[in-house]
Structure 1
């Protein structure tokens, strides 16, 4: 009976104590092995050139300011088994690098390093800064659109001429207008002849949608005033360049015509006169010029000069013999070519048919460019067509958005 009243568990034997010493030894040995492995890895990395000599680029908060990278990869005097060393100059924001900073970057590079040439066709040096940037970040702010960028101006006897900035920026980059949308079928419309008629110029600037590109004639009047009003309204600008036509001088675009002979010989006095009449434009468009655009030496020389200055060339599409596209490509310049001339006659019905042709061309290719003159009837027809075309999925964009830019590749 005693077993019935005995508390549960009191008859159990004593538990044997655990033997801790033997189980702690493997854990301690594992810790020592791990420490030796990490220490050995660090020692190896510090003694190998490929790890010891690498400079790690620090990240910079880039947007919206573009960055310039100066880098060189010199071969070692005696190639080690671990691989060649790499040296690099620090990142620097574009627009703030002085000549001294550029010289220091070049001096830090090895003379045997590869040559980076920028812009295309220009002489470069080893370790030369190579720009890496989003073209959209270079555009002027809307509040500054009517003010020329001093870094993009060259002072000459003919006035203020467009030129690439020392940091590589181009008038094409800075004065371009961002399209409202890159989606859908895109059309660019260029209306030229502005500045000749004050009434017609006012009508085009104030009644056309800002997406329409405006082209000014260098022989026009009050160009500075109209440039400012057009830029404040949101328009992208071109300058029309009088160029030698077939039958010149009996057929002439006016004074200061750039002839094929002068262009081929590099005599650009008339070109500089035209360029100096206006500022804040992304490029030039031919005014007449079938004789010059069909002359290979002349067109190659002109394309090279425009590329050097960072300007777009728009071919109005009136000459089937034009060599402008191939010349611009060879020079590394920006090129655009018109698909349809919209107002060969001042007939509203005919202009509307041409605009419909432009729309069909854009749907077939994804984009198309039309050109017109600043006649009242042309301006009214374009404005009416644009109000309807958007509902059909047509996006009118500045001409720069449809240009072929080799530097943006």
Structure 2
């Protein structure tokens, strides 16, 4: 039976199977071409006598010449610019934009810009403190001790009135120079910071962070008092001596050695010791002394000695029983009293409130004196207030300019002699 189901799949009916496969012409053509190319490359290699080319079978290649490195000859160094007078030899240098060959030191840049950079250790990585130096008013205080107003005492150099009437309170005081940016008659504020000299860190902060017109009151016990006072005065700060006086709860509350005591009234030996601690102060203020300043018999000879030596007295304002103002008036002694104690508590809000009270009193009365102790947080608050005083219409004033006698300033009373 022959039908489509019995025929081989895909093969036509009656087709004969070939005995031998048909030749593949394309394959033989490729083989012939490749052989021709290989034969040509070999002939070229033989003709060129290049063994590498023969090895590579005619493929393109490049040859690089390798030579040992020769360092360039050293260049002569350019001539060094002339050293500037006063510049430290080890200071870093910078090129000033104004001139290609002008070299200035980092110290000179800091001095010109008013910015001081303090590096912790070497020049490597580490914390860097940048201090913006307060504006220099140009006021310079007289060197101390001044021989015209000094004498040698039992414990050291003592202040005195000079042969021509010159007084330490006039020579050593910082002169009051009104700012031309303020209106005439602007309210005046004096800031006094006490306890300076006892702690090296807070002492340096008071000297360097507070504006020049802030008065510093030194305790008589700290180390290196003479050099510290000299630095403070070189920065422009007027200086006072704090004299420890007997409080009501003495000896439980003892201000320190050579405290002026009521029971030793009339004996000035302790006062002379205190006044010999360092030179250059323009006045004396009490440290504590609630009981002492309330006793007229004890207070009178002390204030008389202070006046005899050409100084003024500042009452710290802590004791309402103080007779300093009354006694000073009887002795014709220049005297002033603190109006506001600024650090009754150390809280920043309390200090700011006291400064606002001081400003209000200065506006009402024309002048006011504020006092605070040398503590780090207090110094920072006072420094900010003092730097902004002029913007608020206030004249920051040395406290000596507010010491009065019979309604006249200390400077005026000195000129009338």
The bucket for the TM-score relative to the shorter chain is 0.5 to 0.7
The corresponding residue for 1:65 is none
- Secondary structure of the residue that 1:270 maps to in structure 2? helix
Write the mapping of 1:150-229 to structure 2, written as runs, cut at 5 A. Answer: 150-181=147-178, 183-229=185-231
In 2, Cα distance between equivalents of 1:155 and 1:387: 39
The corresponding residue for 1:269 is 269
Contact 2:197 2:203 (8 Å CA) reproduced: yes
Deviations 1:24-72 (A, max 9, x none): xxxxxxxxxxxxxxxxxxxxxxxxxxxxxxxxxxxxxxxxxxxxxxxxx
Contact 1:146 1:227 (8 Å CA) reproduced: no
Evaluate the alpha carbon distance shift between residue 143 and residue 321 of structure 1 in structure 2; reply closer, same or farther with a 3 A threshold.
Answer: closer
Contact 2:160 2:309 (8 Å CA) reproduced: yes
The corresponding residue for 2:291 is 291
Post-superposition offset of 1:278:
1.0
In 1, Cα distance between equivalents of 2:402 and 2:193: 16
Write the mapping of 1:10-409 to structure 2, written as runs, cut at 5 A. Answer: 145-181=142-178, 183-263=185-265, 266-405=266-405, 407-408=413-414
Judge which range, 178-187 or 356-365, deviates more: 178-187
The corresponding residue for 2:71 is none
In 2, Cα distance between equivalents of 1:386 and 1:144: 20
Alpha carbon RMSD of aligned pairs, Å?
Answer: 1.5
In 1, Cα distance between equivalents of 2:166 and 2:335: 17
* Contiguous gaps of at least 5 residues in structure 2: 1-137, 179-183, 407-412
Evaluate the alpha carbon distance shift between residue 143 and residue 392 of structure 1 in structure 2; reply closer, same or farther with a 3 A threshold.
Answer: closer
Larger Rg: 2
Post-superposition offset of 1:332:
1.2
Judge which range, 150-159 or 199-208, deviates more: 150-159
In 2, Cα distance between equivalents of 1:262 and 1:162: 23
Contact 1:163 1:171 (8 Å CA) reproduced: yes
Deviations 1:322-350 (A, max 9, x none): 00001111111110100000011111111
Contact 1:185 1:394 (8 Å CA) reproduced: yes
Post-superposition offset of 1:405:
3.6
- Secondary structure of the residue that 1:191 maps to in structure 2? strand
In 1, Cα distance between equivalents of 2:405 and 2:212: 22
In 2, Cα distance between equivalents of 1:242 and 1:220: 13
In 2, Cα distance between equivalents of 1:397 and 1:375: 21
Contact 2:271 2:302 (8 Å CA) reproduced: no
- Secondary structure of the residue that 1:321 maps to in structure 2? coil
* Contiguous gaps of at least 5 residues in structure 1: 1-140
Post-superposition offset of 1:276:
0.3
- Secondary structure of the residue that 1:349 maps to in structure 2? helix
Deviations 1:168-187 (A, max 9, x none): 11111111111121741000
Post-superposition offset of 1:388:
2.4
TM-score computed with the length of structure 2 as normaliser: 0.62
In 2, Cα distance between equivalents of 1:142 and 1:158: 32
The corresponding residue for 1:137 is none
In 1, Cα distance between equivalents of 2:262 and 2:321: 14
How many residues align structurally?
A: 267
Judge which range, 375-384 or 174-183, deviates more: 174-183
Evaluate the alpha carbon distance shift between residue 301 and residue 178 of structure 1 in structure 2; reply closer, same or farther with a 3 A threshold.
Answer: same
Evaluate the alpha carbon distance shift between residue 341 and residue 209 of structure 1 in structure 2; reply closer, same or farther with a 3 A threshold.
Answer: same
In 2, Cα distance between equivalents of 1:335 and 1:373: 20
In 2, Cα distance between equivalents of 1:249 and 1:151: 39
Post-superposition offset of 1:394:
0.6
In 2, Cα distance between equivalents of 1:343 and 1:275: 27
Contact 1:145 1:232 (8 Å CA) reproduced: no
Evaluate the alpha carbon distance shift between residue 143 and residue 344 of structure 1 in structure 2; reply closer, same or farther with a 3 A threshold.
Answer: closer
TM-score computed with the length of structure 1 as normaliser: 0.63
